[in-house]
């Protein structure tokens, strides 16, 4: 039955939830704090608790009965019972155990033992934590945080909330994005869209401030760093380029301070063995010191390990010396993004600051120096991402004239013969996107093709990240190079990848949704881009050398097969000459000289050309054998063969 339109008097339009139906909210699931907001006719409203606080600390404590305590109370429990409290779980989304960062040699989590079948070819395994006697995955813990955000929204809006736009770091890979979507599903919410955090922030600024032109979004949160360059024109938000580090954020600042304090303790007390609880408390002390020194010049903090307390003094200048290498990494990424987009810093009209870590004075100073102007901070950096997510949620459920065009952070492609990467979707391609490319078989009679999907900027498969493998079968047996196999890559608006391969003659098709079990290791994504720049010339040399070897081997394979079938067409001298040249080619392709390989292959093809012509003549005679002219005339009249003009 069609739904009736509800028409209200001006000013009497009900707020979200007043009509009793489900609504969609915007959620910033942060490493340190999380925020939920709702899109309204006048803009977006951040939902707050009874004390007016918008931030829910992304900290979960587990009671003996298995219930989860999320937020400020869990933060306070960190001091008394750190063994039952989990923080910064976002850093583990889609990651393996080798990605965990220790504090003075101790990992601040109790890990569950891994089953043998959980191991992966990369040597890492899906993380599971032991908390209060329970074994929990990062997805389950994140779901508890999302459930608390949902409950806040339902209490405030007086209605059911079961749909959301959830933000993720721009450099979250497929595994981390899938884990985030799964966490929302566990929390009872459908994810309408995953939006990159810098894009959400730009959306909030663009609509609230009417900004147009090129803007940079510098997003330094608790666990991740992203920078995006956007061109905002008449409601179209196009990401020109993006960069980042999925394991660089305020938590690393806390680590730096905690390591300094623990080093001072070692000077006083000697080596100490930290428990998991000690490591958590050291990180919390480092965080408190960092936050205090953002507003004051110096301070003293007490740190307890075991039964012994120690007092530590730190000045802002000393803090900045500790943090400078980390902050410079973000500035280097900013420079690379500008270069990728072909944009000069003077072309950037403004820089939007996102994330609580941008409150560090040195961060603001370096951003101002990088872009040559004071960064924008009109919207609370802790709330701006949720505001953008809420606006996008409203747009997806109620319509909008705004268009978001995000990009892929790294190139996607497949492995071809010789271990070469053929890029199908280059990095910084706007999404959603689908691109197809045709490939063919390498050997005569080939009935199947292995499809290996990879991610990265280098030219060889061994230098890139493996994402998925599958096989296309039932290819008709043809001569090498005759089959037409179309490989299609599709990246949706959430940044998730689907790959399909189709043989054009038979229609045989295979498809795989790329969902690896965990994500990139700590510095892998940033390292991919760095290595591509550092080794670009060498990679290209290796690529063209490998292509020459592959082509030479193809010629050898085809010629060897032809000699076995029709070698009687050659004189003894001709055969000896060709076989001698084959031996020369086999020796030359072991070397590193691409030009030499090309020269000996060209000579082999010239020597074998008369042989190829004789084979063609034999094939034509065999095809015509036993046929009469009237047969061909009849076939031409029926349109079965083309007529000769």
CA–CA separation, 619 and 570 (whole Å): 16
Over residues 604-619, mean pLDDT? 86
What are the φ/ψ torsions at residue 457 (nearest 5 degrees)?
A: -110, -10
Strand, coil or helix: what is 635? Answer: helix
* Tokens (6 digits) for 533: 């720049």
pLDDT at 209 over 60: no
The band of 478, judged by pLDDT with boundaries at 50, 70 and 90, is confident
The band of 58, judged by pLDDT with boundaries at 50, 70 and 90, is very high
Average pLDDT taken over every residue of the chain: 78
pLDDT digits (tens, 9 = 90+) for 75-109: 888 777 888 888 888 878 876 665 565 555 556 66
Return the DSSP state at 222.
S
The band of 645, judged by pLDDT with boundaries at 50, 70 and 90, is very low
CA 247 → CA 99, 166, 459, 525, 531, distances in Å?
9, 20, 25, 10, 18
Over residues 570-593, mean pLDDT? 89
pLDDT at 116 over 50: no
338's enclosing H/E stretch is: helix 316-341
By percentage, how much of the chain surpasses pLDDT 90?
A: 14
The band of 51, judged by pLDDT with boundaries at 50, 70 and 90, is confident
630 compared with 417, residue with greater pLDDT: 417
CA–CA separation, 50 and 34 (whole Å): 17
Q: What is the pLDDT of residue 256?
A: 92
Strand, coil or helix: what is 643? Answer: coil
The band of 402, judged by pLDDT with boundaries at 50, 70 and 90, is low
Q: What is the pLDDT of residue 146?
A: 94
Q: What is the pLDDT of residue 626?
A: 64
pLDDT at 628 over 70: no
The band of 513, judged by pLDDT with boundaries at 50, 70 and 90, is low
Rg of the chain (C-alpha set): 31
Dihedral sign from CA coordinates of 419, 420, 423, 427: positive
- Judged by average pLDDT, the poorest of 44-48, 210-214, 379-383, 533-537 is 533-537
Over residues 564-573, mean pLDDT? 88
Query: Residue 358, exposed/middle/buried by CB under 10 A (0-12, 13-18, 19+)?
Result: buried
* Cα dihedral value 24, 30, 33, 34, nearest 10: 10
Asked if residue 61 lies in contact with residue 55, where contact means CB atoms within 8 angstroms, the answer is no
pLDDT at 210 over 80: no
Return the DSSP state at 427.
T
Alpha helices in 171-299 (DSSP H): 174-186, 197-209, 250-269, 276-292
Q: What is the pLDDT of residue 119?
A: 38
Over residues 153-173, mean pLDDT? 87
Q: Which long-range contacts (CB under 8 A, 24 or more apart) does 334-338 make?
A: 334/216, 334/218, 334/227, 334/243, 334/367, 334/370, 334/371, 335/370, 336/243, 336/529, 336/533, 337/216, 337/227, 337/228, 337/229, 337/241, 337/242, 337/243, 338/229, 338/241
CA–CA separation, 233 and 455 (whole Å): 31
* Tokens (6 digits) for 110: 């109790």
pLDDT at 61 over 90: no
Q: What is the pLDDT of residue 62?
A: 85
CA–CA separation, 287 and 303 (whole Å): 12
Q: What is the pLDDT of residue 444?
A: 76
Over residues 522-529, mean pLDDT? 48
Domains of the chain listed by start with CATH number? 23-249+324-405 (3.30.420.40), 250-323 (3.90.640.10), 412-521 (2.60.34.10), 535-616 (1.20.1270.10)
234 compared with 585, residue with greater pLDDT: 585
What are the φ/ψ torsions at residue 5 (nearest 5 degrees)?
A: -75, 140
pLDDT digits (tens, 9 = 90+) for 268-308: 888 888 887 888 888 889 889 998 988 889 889 888 887 88
Neighbours of 177 (CB within 10 A): 24
pLDDT at 118 over 50: no
Residues identified as active-site: 28, 90, 197, 219
- The per-residue b/e assignment along 249-279, b for 16 or more CB within 10 angstroms, e otherwise, is bbbbbbbbbbbbbbebbeeeeeeeebbbbbb
CA–CA separation, 324 and 321 (whole Å): 5
pLDDT at 250 over 60: yes
Asked if residue 168 lies in contact with residue 176, where contact means CB atoms within 8 angstroms, the answer is yes
How many Å separate Cα 188 from the centre of its chain?
Answer: 25
pLDDT at 356 over 60: yes
pLDDT at 136 over 70: yes
The band of 20, judged by pLDDT with boundaries at 50, 70 and 90, is very low
Return the DSSP state at 273.
-
pLDDT at 369 over 90: yes
224 compared with 165, residue with greater pLDDT: 165
* Tokens (6 digits) for 500: 């399909």
Q: What is the pLDDT of residue 635?
A: 56
pLDDT at 512 over 80: no
Q: What is the pLDDT of residue 522?
A: 37
* Tokens (6 digits) for 488: 């299609």
* Tokens (6 digits) for 373: 């102007």
* Tokens (6 digits) for 70: 């999320």
The band of 539, judged by pLDDT with boundaries at 50, 70 and 90, is low
The band of 390, judged by pLDDT with boundaries at 50, 70 and 90, is very high
- The per-residue b/e assignment along 525-542, b for 16 or more CB within 10 angstroms, e otherwise, is bbebbebbeebeeebeeb
What does the DSSP assignment read for 122-149?
TS-BB--EEETTEEE-HHHHHHHHHHHH
Q: What is the pLDDT of residue 643?
A: 41
């Amino acid at each position: 039955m069609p739904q009736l339109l509800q028409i209200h008097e001006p000013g009497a339009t009900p707020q979200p939830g007043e009509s009793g139906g489900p609504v969609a909210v915007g959620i910033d699931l942060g490493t340190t704090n999380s925020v939920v907001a709702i899109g309204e006719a006048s803009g977006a409203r951040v939902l707050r608790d009874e004390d007016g606080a918008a931030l829910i600390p992304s900290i979960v404590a587990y009671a003996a009965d298995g219930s989860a305590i999320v937020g400020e109370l869990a933060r306070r429990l960190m001091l008394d019972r750190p063994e039952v409290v989990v923080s910064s779980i976002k850093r583990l989304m889609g990651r393996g155990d080798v990605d965990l960062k220790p504090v003075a040699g101790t990992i601040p989590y109790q890990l569950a033992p891994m089953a043998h079948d959980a191991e992966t070819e990369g040597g890492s395994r899906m993380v599971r934590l032991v908390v209060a006697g329970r074994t929990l995955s990062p997805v389950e813990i994140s779901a508890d945080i999302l459930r608390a955000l949902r409950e806040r929204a339902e209490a405030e809006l007086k209605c059911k909330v079961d749909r959301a736009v959830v933000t993720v770091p721009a450099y979250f890979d497929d595994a981390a994005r899938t884990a985030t979507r799964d966490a929302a599903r566990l929390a009872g919410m459908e994810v309408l869209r995953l939006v990159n955090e810098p894009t959400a922030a730009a959306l909030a600024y663009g609509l609230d401030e009417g900004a147009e032109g090129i803007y940079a979004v510098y997003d330094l949160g608790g666990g991740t760093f992203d920078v995006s360059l956007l061109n905002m024109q008449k409601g179209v938000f196009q990401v020109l380029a993006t960069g980042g580090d999925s394991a660089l954020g305020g938590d690393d600042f806390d680590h730096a301070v905690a390591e300094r304090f623990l080093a001072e303790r070692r000077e006083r007390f000697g080596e100490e063995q930290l428990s998991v609880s000690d490591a958590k408390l050291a990180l919390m002390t480092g965080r408190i010191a960092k936050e205090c020194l953002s507003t004051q010049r110096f301070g003293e903090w007490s740190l307890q390990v075991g039964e012994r307390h120690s007092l530590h003094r730190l000045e802002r200048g000393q803090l900045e010396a500790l943090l400078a290498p980390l902050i410079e990494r973000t500035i280097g990424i900013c420079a690379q993004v500008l270069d990728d987009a072909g944009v000069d810093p003077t072309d950037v009209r403004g820089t939007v600051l996102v994330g609580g870590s941008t409150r560090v004075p040195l961060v603001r100073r370096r951003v101002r120096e990088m872009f040559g102007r004071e960064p924008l901070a009109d919207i609370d950096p802790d709330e701006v991402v949720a505001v953008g997510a809420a606006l996008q949620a409203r747009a997806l459920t109620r319509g909008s004239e705004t268009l978001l065009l995000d990009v892929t952070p790294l190139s996607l492609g497949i492995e071809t013969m010789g271990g070469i990467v053929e890029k199908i979707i280059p990095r910084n391609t706007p999404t959603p996107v689908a691109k197809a490319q045709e490939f063919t078989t390498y050997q005569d009679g080939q009935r199947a093709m292995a499809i290996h999907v990879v991610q990265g900027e280098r030219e060889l498969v061994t230098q890139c990240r493996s994402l998925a493998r599958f096989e296309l079968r039932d290819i008709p047996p043809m001569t090498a190079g005759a089959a037409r196999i179309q490989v299609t890559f599709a990246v949706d608006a959430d940044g998730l990848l689907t790959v399909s391969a189709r043989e054009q003659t038979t229609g045989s098709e295979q498809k795989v949704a790329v969902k690896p079990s965990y994500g990139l290791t700590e510095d892998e994504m940033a390292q991919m881009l760095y290595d591509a720049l550092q080794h670009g010339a060498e990679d290209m040399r290796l690529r063209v050398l490998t292509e020459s070897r592959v082509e030479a081997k193809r010629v050898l394979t085809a010629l060897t097969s032809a000699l076995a079938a029709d070698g009687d067409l050659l004189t003894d001298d001709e055969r000896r000459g060709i076989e001698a040249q084959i031996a020369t080619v086999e020796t030359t392709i072991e070397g590193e000289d691409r030009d030499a390989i090309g020269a000996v292959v060209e000579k082999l093809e010239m020597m074998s050309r008369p042989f190829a012509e004789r084979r063609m003549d034999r094939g034509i005679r065999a095809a015509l054998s036993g046929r009469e002219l009237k047969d061909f005339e009849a076939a031409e009249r029926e349109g079965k063969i083309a007529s000769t003009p």
